[in-house]
A and B are shown apart, each in its own frame.
Chain A
Amino acid sequence: MKQIKGVNDFVVKFANVNGTGSASANHLFAKAIFRMGIPVSPRNIFPSNIQGLPTWYEVRVSSKGYLGRRGGVDMMVCVNPQSMEQDVASVEPGGYFLYDNTKPLAQHLKRGDISYFGVPLTEMCMREFPVPRLQQLLKNMVYVGAMAALLDINFSILKDLLNDQFKGKEKLISSNVHALEMGYQYATETFKCPLPIRLEQGGNVAPHILESEHILMNGNTAAALGAIYGGATVAAWYPITPSTSVVDAFSKYAKRMRIDAGTGKKNFAIVQAEDELAAMGMVVGAGWNGARAFTATSGPGLSLMSEFLGLAYFAEVPVVLINVQRSGPSTGMPTRSQQSDILAGAYASHGDTKQVLLFPATPRECFEMTVQAFDLADRLQTPIIMMSDLDLGMNDWMSPPLEWDDTYEMDRGKVLNAEELDKAETWGRYLDVDGDGICYRTLPGAHPSKGAYFTRGSSKNEMAVYSELGEDYVQNVDRLLRKFDTAKSYVPRPKTHPPIEVKKPKTDLKLGALFFGTSASPSYEAVEILATEGYSINTMRIRAFPFHESLDQFIHDHDVVFVIEQNRDGQMRQLIMNECQIAPSKLTSVLNYSGTPITARAIAGKIRETLSTQPENVVPLHPETA
């Protein structure tokens, strides 16, 4: 049997039972690799369940620093009899399978092309620990210990991490370290350690990884910090997976950083609303009244908030919504990731609406874009929806450290204070004085006799007086469109990279790939894989809607453009078809909507397949026609 080999380059997957404490042990495993300075990306693939159902934790180690999913499993650690059959089957030929051999492995689970490592986890814990709950929890530590020996994890890092985690609870530290050592010892005595797949501290890591002191954090925590730094004072929300941890983290940080020193009172308000409708209503009320307010939700919540999003669009109220996408429709697979709210977000609400969307791809962008979302909401006086997803929001990502420029000033947009109102000759709430579609607003209570107006969802004229005249309505909604156009110059621009040179190109077609959010990382990797095969593909990562003009140009400049996204209907492709002046036939979807994040191998496979069957009627663009 030819075993898989690799230093700092492999995929390990843990198969556990939900609610048995495996997540923290698996996290310890990933964090130890991270502390060794080796690029790692852990992913929790978990069921909508508190206890009992199968759950997986996939850890990718990549010396080149690829953080998306690769596809395939090199080593499986299986401590869940429920899923063992599929877990055995999912290991790549030449791979490795670690399991609890307290009970012997069933005959039908034995494959000839993978290596088995039996560790009597249950038996060891029964023997060593008296308390049943500890027997279950520490089983996880025993396999982490065994993995440390098999993969050559720096054992002292594991111990340091446990010391950090259980600071002040010495008893817990010693029992956990003991369990780790048991596993480590068993593995070194029983197996030939390390395996051909292994870790090497200071090994062949890509130079760009070594450039900065990375952090390991999830997108929801980063977004919450963005809300703190962006000056959010009101958070109204309703619990929904996978967005809940945004407000949990906001609450945690706000309690640390937003307490008034003199009085001990709060400079922030968090309200757990009765539903998403009320959550958005509160954000609208607070935004109308001049506070920076936000909510976080996911698909079903976005649907419930849509009526208010329409009001906020039409009444021109700043709103920030962090939408952490999951599988839909309806409650779908609430703990599985997708990018399937693109159209629901872009056109949220009834009537003619267009909403500003931001697409972060990393925790750092979650942080920066959340800060920016508050500035944009105030500047554009409209809802800003940041479209994250479960993969980005709930998983830990290796990221360059968050940075803050202390000279940052909030952009509160066009708000007239009492002094400015006194100076203004005429003021109308919906007068487009500057021609950019953005009008001057006032806040309640600002001036004794000037600037009061009535905000309404119903139609009005430029002076904010109720009007059902067709021309007033048309003027207003046309101005809103002008404002949406103005938004293009404020939202983050798409990112492009210089093309990868290909020595012997397999095609003379000009190839492009468009993607956004968590599809980006595996897309970049797929492009690099394909470059080695003779396909040169230019990339553009979309970061906001409305789209920048360069997106149109990018599509014009290529013969075939792959749109890589994680939903069934190619929603970003549809949005591009709807909003850009391009030939839709140029856009080829590359999709994944299984609920588990898209992999580089799947993307490369689909592109390869498309190119090998490319219809002959695609005529390559020539420089003179491009």
Chain B
Amino acid sequence: MSYIKPKFRHPNLPTNRLGYTVADYDGAVSTLCAGCGHDSISAAIRNACFASALEPHRIAKISGIGCSSKMPTYFLGKSHGFNSVHGRMPSVATGASLANRDLTYVGVSGDGDTASIGMGQFIHLIRRNLNMTYIVANNGCYGLTKGQDSATADLGSVSKAGDANPFDGIDLASLAILQGASFVGRSFSGDKTQLEPLIRAAMAHKGFAFIDVVSPCVTFNNHAGSTKSYSETRDHLDVMPLDFVPMREEIRTQYAEGTTQSVTLHDGSVIHLHKADTSYRSDDRKSAMHAVQTAEDEGRILTGLLYLDPDSQDLHQNIQLASRPLNELGKDELCPGSKVLNSINEGLR
């Protein structure tokens, strides 16, 4: 890690469609440990927003508590952020989204924040299909309190203190698919070629987009015996690459028949998925569950876009919310006035 972030930028840095350089999506200097997987995720989010040419100020970053939840400080410095309460990011994001449906919401959480204290809110967030991207930086341990097992730690994984975890871990991606999340991905913080397009796709998806990112903790969970160390994760990855082609761009690449599935999102963007198993359809929940389960049984960590329902109806649609953001409404739209009140009085006599 570095304490100083250079302000100097190459004058010829490439710009995106809006004229922003990637530096316009930077945040403050990270205070996480050197080599922390989370910093790679921050970089991937930054790069994804740059590549998709999102306006930084139209993005809101929301997090809970933990190492993961500190991350929003380290990307998108021109966006508002809210580091809320442990395990409660989903409710804060829900309220924020209800107030202004026009912003892009990025939630960052961790395995403790989501799979333990925040499990209830996480499940209900899925149920409501809030239009947001929800990233879990999953390292299987509590970093800020020095390495206790989290609820996603695998059975038998050895902690830094030397104890084998006696409990089965919770697989958040499987859980999200089962619960009906409309977009579920899994990736590895060390695989930016997959993670970046996955985040771009998630942000383009209208509905709840969940990405579980295995993100090793270099300080407390990167030793022999840990199943979430860099080397263990790399050794067991089963990567399904993907390309994200935004609506405005032409499709140029050609893919071999049978191994590629293309999914069009509501905004016209296209995701191309490349899979070894041609029978697996990522828009079919049962098929997705089967693929994830099979990989797990064989000791592989399947990564990529696991499941997607491109036609999902999000919370705003489901509760028939008007298109104008609620926080823009004023007295004229909201206050019925004295005549109406008088008629209410009349009805109470």
Give the contacts of B293-349 with A (CB-CB under 8 A): 319-324, 326-327, 329-331, 333-338, 340-342, 344-345, 348-349
Q: How far is the CB of B126 from chain A (nearest CB, A)?
A: 11
- Answer yes or no: A288 CB below 8 A from chain B CBs: yes
Contact residues on B (Cβ < 8 Å of other chain), bracket:
35 or more
Given contacts A285-B94, A293-B99, are A228 and B336 in contact (CB under 8 A)? yes
Given contacts A277-B88, A285-B91, A449-B78, contact A454 B72 (CB under 8 A): yes
Distance, CA A216 to CA B92, complexed state (A): 38
Residues of A240-277 at the interface with B, using a CB-CB cut-off of 8 Å, are 257-258, 260, 263-271, 273-275, 277
Interface string of B60-94 (1 = CB under 8 A from A): 10100000000011000111111111001011111
- CA A166 – CA B43 in complex, angstroms? 65
Q: Is A186 an interface residue, CB under 8 A from the partner?
A: no
A231 at the B interface (CB under 8 A): yes
Question: Which residues of chain A have C-beta atoms less than 8 A from B81's C-beta?
Answer: 452-455
**Interface residue? B95 (CB, 8 A):** yes
Q: Which residue of B lies closest to A400 (CB)?
A: B345
CB distance from A39 to the nearest CB of B (A): 14
Contact residues in B for A230 (Cβ distance below 8 Å): 335
CB distance from B296 to the nearest CB of A (A): 28
Asked whether B338 lies within 8 Å of A404 as measured between CB atoms, the reply is: yes
Do the beta carbons of B323 and A265 come within 8 Å of each other? Answer: yes
Q: Does B163 contact A (CB under 8 A)?
A: no
B166 within 8 Å of A (CB atoms): no
> Can you list, as one digit per residue, whether each of B78-116 has a CB less than 8 Å from chain A (1) or not (0)?
111111110010111111111110110000000000000
| CB–CB A288/B96 < 8 A | yes
Please give, as numbers and ranges, the residues of chain B lying within 8 Å of A307 by CB-CB distance. 85
Q: Which residue of B lies closest to A213 (CB)?
A: B349
Provide the A442-473 mask, 1 if CB < 8 A to any CB of B, else 0.
11111111001111111000000010000000
- Closest A residue to B76 using CB positions: A452
**B57 interface hit (Cβ, 8 Å):** yes
Q: Does A282 contact B (CB under 8 A)?
A: yes
A236 within 8 A of B: yes
What residues of chain B lie closer than 8 Å to A268, measured between beta carbons?
326
Question: Provided the pairs A213-B349, A281-B88, A455-B83 are in contact, do residues A287 and B72 lie with their beta carbons within 8 angstroms?
Answer: no
Q: How far is the CA of A273 from the CA of B91 in the complex (A)?
A: 9
Complex CA gap A263/B349 in Å reads 34
Pairwise interchain contact A266-B319, C-beta atoms closer than 8 A: yes
Q: How far is the CA of A315 from the CA of B99 in the complex (A)?
A: 18
Q: A281-B88, A282-B91, A457-B85 are in contact. Are A444 and B121 (CB under 8 A)?
A: no
Contacts of A271 in B (CB 8 A): 94, 98, 128, 319
Kindly specify which of A81-89, A195-203, A387-395, A405-413 makes contact with the partner chain: A405-413
Task: Return the chain A residue nearest B123 by Cβ.
Answer: A274
- Give A278 to B118 CA distance when docked, in angstroms: 10
A-B contact pairs, 16 of them (CB 8 A): A217-B348, A234-B326, A257-B340, A263-B323, A282-B92, A285-B91, A286-B98, A288-B99, A289-B60, A289-B95, A291-B100, A408-B331, A410-B330, A444-B96, A445-B58, A455-B80
| Shortest Cβ-Cβ A-B pairs, 6 listed | A281-B91, A285-B95, A291-B99, A444-B80, A282-B95, A290-B327
